[in-house]
Structure 1
Amino acid sequence: MDDTGARETWEHRLLLPGELRFGGGRTPARRTGRDWLVDTLMFGFAVLLWAASLGIVEDADYLPRWIVVADAPAGALACLALWWRRRFPLLLAVAMLPLSVFSSTFVGALSVAIFNLAVRVPWRTASLVVLAHLAVTTPYLIVYTIPDEGGWTGVAFVVAFVLFLLTWGTAVRVRRELVARLRADARRERAEHARRLADARRAEREAIAREMHDVLAHRISLLSVHAGALAYRTGASARGAEPLSDAEIGDTAQLIRDTAHQALEELREVLTVLRGSGATEGAPQPGLGDVEDLVAEARRAGQRVRWTGAYERAASGLRGQVQRTAYRVVQEGLTNARKHAPEAEVTVVVAGGPGEGLSIAVRNTLPARGGHGRGGVDAGPIPGAGAGLAGLEERVVLDGGTLRHGAGPTAFELVAELPWPPAAPGPAD
């Protein structure tokens, strides 16, 4: 099948040489419609010259009788041998060397053989074979052509015609090899393009997966905390504790509703990007200035958070993407602490400035083994995908920063270092 597509057209099946249709080789296993047509025309050409030469040879009284008798069968045999010209081009041309000594009726077959040789054999080899034919036919030219068949003009015509066939065949071979190389280059380029496209799609899917994790994991963990607290207080009321008031139940339900609404809105923004619908018309992307709101939201959910913000509030010169990454680092740290150490105190420190870099550190004390959740009830871990830190590390590296995380003797620490270039100088006074 042709490499230009999954389906061949009639042009590929009929008009391309077999060498190009079946992979660029010089001896294809099958012939195309064009090959059959060319073979028929060349065989007809050889037979036509053979038939036209019969009368000339019969009338040439200057030729020995043995040449007149052997010429016609030799020429017919050479025409039949053209059937193997594609598979054995060099062998066929060499096998015709004895006929060049005496035969005139095989000129058509020899012309086809020389042209075929130049098309399918390197030009050095083809040139040597052609020179050999000229060498073995030299006695005939000297003894019969010069005195009786046109003189030196006839000799010049024979030499020029043979060289023309050699040059023409070589040009065809060079062109076919060039086309084959171009087609091979096109195949490699298409394969490389497909690979780059697959890599781009995979990178895009990974980026979307990171974004969905960063957005939804935080909101869903908040929902889990609020719902767990409501279930715990309701269960405690059934065991004789002071029941929840209608206002407390309403506030908790409203908080759960608001958190779910925010999760759906953020999910809608991510899905809009996934569908290729362009930028959304919702709220702007979170940045460094939204970190305090994120901390306040965690506190409202009952998480104990100590917050220190020692950075330039205007965030001059800090790219929006880097600010967003800083926000995601704090978000991931709070989410992980809420999942794995719900009772732990969390410390969030954001510090830095232009030219100094931006440092984000989120630390939480490790939970006691076999500990319980709020009020002595085993809260159980909040399930997660387990890919948040890996995705966050990729995001930080893409922004030119570094991320380290791990558990120490008493605390788990998540620290990110992001670049913050110096502020652009203002106009001279």
Structure 2
Amino acid sequence: MEPGHRSRRSRRDVVVDSLLTVFAVLYGLLGFAGYGGDLHPADRVPDWLLWLDLAFLPACCAALWWRRSHPVTVALGVTLVSVFSVSAVGALVVALTSLAAYRPFPRAAAITLLAMVLSLPWVVLVPIDAGGSIVTMVTIVVMLSACLAWGTAIRSRRSLVERLREDVRRERQTHEERLTAARVEERRRIAREMHDVIAHRMSLLSVHAGALAYRTERAEAGRAAPLEAAEVGSAMRVIRDNAHRVLDELGDILDVLRSGDLVGEGAGEEDRSAPPPRLDDLSRLVREAVDVGERVVFDLDLPESHRPREQVQRTAYRIVQEGLTNARKHAPGARVVVTAAGGPGQELVIVVSNVLPMGLVALELPGAGVGLAGLAERVRLDGGRLEHGPARGRFRLVATLPWPTEETGSERPGDATRNEHRKVT
């Protein structure tokens, strides 16, 4: 379908067509009146041709009603009539302009040129002298060329509007696809969050439950003293608290998954009732690991009054959490060294390392490698990089996260050079 062509005539089309028809009638009558005003010498035109000229005016103006659906036919018909009819000039102007507006330029230019050529007999025979013929011919060429240019401009504008509308539709579709992809990616993030959180808590439960079973078996075999009620109660409280935390954190994640709007509307982790984990929560995380018997050395070297953006803090927390979990799984009993250092304008570097085990662990928890893959993706999305693997007898998990200067918080007087340096063993 040609640009601008519509299968059904709108109210605006009816109004425009009516006005153009009135214009063609008035222009034609004005041109015909030139015979009486000595603009065109009437004695050089037969009387029957004058009446035939006027008789074709209604037909040419009526044909303009189909100028949208059949512009070529209308333009050719009016052009043939204009060979002998001065009153058809107004309809010819409208027909040629419409032709250029609704059909490609080469076709419209060809018919316009045909109209100029067919006007030559009237230009040569009707004017009295050569000067009048030249003026008349120049006027016709300029007028018909202006019709062609005007119609072409209208067509170009309509094509531009159509392209812009198509671009808008395509951009809306692309925007929806981006939103869908962002929602999918956010759900993937939450799936990784579930692994990080639940694996950490479940490893704590596994360690406590395994310790109880081990002590009980040794007591039954007579190789150790039976567990006291206080010891059993303390272990069960740790198991109960961690189980409750697993359920609470899983419930929070499921609430976000059910929200159905994870991107762009303020939904997500920041809207939960529980505050998201930050760098300051690393001490609590390390203490929980120490309470279940894990040997951890923790060194936090950060400016006291500055912290990176919350997303980076959450990622740093998950890195330490995953490192401690993996150490409990694959190197139980090994000492784990956790360091966090950096500052504004530099980078935040998180290192979790432990001695490699001598052999495979008998009861290894499943899921090895899944957490690190999700963690690497999380770090990449935050603009950082993650490295992990054995080196010189130790397994090292090293993450480097961005910490631009503009993300620093306000400083208190005298705190610009103070560092927070804490160690938990």
Q: Is the structural similarity TM-score above 0.5?
A: yes
Equivalent of residue 121 in structure 2, options 139, 142, 149: 139
Q: Which residue of 2 aligns with 1:285?
A: 277
Q: Which residue of 1 aligns with 2:389?
A: 406
Shift in Å at residue 114 of structure 1? 1.4
Could you tell me how far apart the structure 1 residues matched to 2:98 and 2:54 are? 23
Equivalent of residue 379 in structure 2, options 391, 396, 406: 396
Q: Deviations over 1:247-288 (max 9, x none)?
A: 33322221111112233444455566665385455456331x
Q: Which runs of 5+ in 1 are unaligned?
A: 1-21, 373-378
Could you tell me how far apart the structure 1 residues matched to 2:163 and 2:276 are? 52
1:338 equivalenced with 2:328 (yes/no): yes
| Counterparts in 2 of 1:79 and 1:399: CA distance versus 1, 3 Å | closer
1:249 equivalenced with 2:232 (yes/no): yes
Could you tell me how far apart the structure 1 residues matched to 2:50 and 2:246 are? 101
Could you tell me how far apart the structure 2 residues matched to 1:155 and 1:415 are? 86
1:368 equivalenced with 2:359 (yes/no): yes
Contact 1:146 1:152 in 2 (8 A): no
Shift in Å at residue 137 of structure 1? 1.6
| Counterparts in 2 of 1:344 and 1:412: CA distance versus 1, 3 Å | farther
1:101-116 to structure 2, matched below 5 A, reads: 101-103=83-85, 110-116=92-98
Shift in Å at residue 406 of structure 1? 2.0
Shift in Å at residue 246 of structure 1? 3.5
Q: Which runs of 5+ in 2 are unaligned?
A: 34-41, 260-266, 417-425
1:123-272 to structure 2, matched below 5 A, reads: 126=108, 129-144=111-126, 166=148, 169-170=151-152, 172-231=154-213, 244-267=227-250, 270=253
Contact 1:47 1:76 in 2 (8 A): no
Could you tell me how far apart the structure 1 residues matched to 2:97 and 2:278 are? 74
Q: State the identity as a percent.
A: 42
SS in 2 for 1:312: strand
Could you tell me how far apart the structure 2 residues matched to 1:192 and 1:260 are? 43
Could you tell me how far apart the structure 1 residues matched to 2:354 and 2:189 are? 26
| Counterparts in 2 of 1:290 and 1:154: CA distance versus 1, 3 Å | closer
Higher alpha-carbon deviation: 124-133 or 170-179: 124-133
Could you tell me how far apart the structure 2 residues matched to 1:280 and 1:426 are? 35
Shift in Å at residue 332 of structure 1? 0.6
| Counterparts in 2 of 1:46 and 1:214: CA distance versus 1, 3 Å | same
Could you tell me how far apart the structure 2 residues matched to 1:313 and 1:152 are? 92
Contact 1:356 1:420 in 2 (8 A): yes
Contact 1:405 1:412 in 2 (8 A): yes
Shift in Å at residue 316 of structure 1? 4.9
1:118 equivalenced with 2:107 (yes/no): no
| Counterparts in 2 of 1:94 and 1:255: CA distance versus 1, 3 Å | same
Task: Report the residue type matching 1:100 in the other structure.
Answer: S
SS in 1 for 2:282: helix
Q: Which residue of 1 aligns with 2:290?
A: 299
Q: Deviations over 1:374-414 (max 9, x none)?
A: xxxxx3x3233854213322343455543211245855331
SS in 1 for 2:315: helix
TM-score, normalisation: structure 1: 0.66
Shift in Å at residue 221 of structure 1? 1.9
Contact 2:351 2:396 in 1 (8 A): no
SS in 1 for 2:119: helix
SS in 2 for 1:383: coil
TM-score, normalisation: structure 2: 0.67
Contact 1:364 1:411 in 2 (8 A): yes
Q: Paired residues, what number?
A: 388
SS in 2 for 1:261: helix
1:320-339 to structure 2, matched below 5 A, reads: 321=310, 322-339=312-329
| Counterparts in 2 of 1:159 and 1:294: CA distance versus 1, 3 Å | closer
| Counterparts in 2 of 1:418 and 1:153: CA distance versus 1, 3 Å | closer
Contact 2:277 2:317 in 1 (8 A): no
Q: Which residue of 1 aligns with 2:419?
A: none
Could you tell me how far apart the structure 1 residues matched to 2:286 and 2:348 are? 22
| Counterparts in 2 of 1:367 and 1:33: CA distance versus 1, 3 Å | farther
Equivalent of residue 301 in structure 2, options 312, 326, 330: 312
Could you tell me how far apart the structure 1 residues matched to 2:315 and 2:207 are? 25
Q: Deviations over 1:298-331 (max 9, x none)?
A: 232233x24152x436545442644543332221
| Counterparts in 2 of 1:145 and 1:31: CA distance versus 1, 3 Å | farther
Higher alpha-carbon deviation: 386-395 or 267-276: 267-276
Q: Deviations over 1:337-359 (max 9, x none)?
A: 223x2535142141645568635
| Counterparts in 2 of 1:72 and 1:294: CA distance versus 1, 3 Å | same
Could you tell me how far apart the structure 1 residues matched to 2:141 and 2:339 are? 90
Could you tell me how far apart the structure 1 residues matched to 2:194 and 2:278 are? 14
| Counterparts in 2 of 1:356 and 1:185: CA distance versus 1, 3 Å | closer
Task: Report the residue type matching 1:285 in the other structure.
Answer: P
1:25 equivalenced with 2:8 (yes/no): no
Contact 1:115 1:166 in 2 (8 A): yes
Could you tell me how far apart the structure 2 residues matched to 1:175 and 1:418 are? 51
Q: Relative CO higher for 1 or 2, CA cutoff 8 Å, sep ≥ 6?
A: 2
Q: Which residue of 1 aligns with 2:264?
A: none
SS in 1 for 2:278: coil
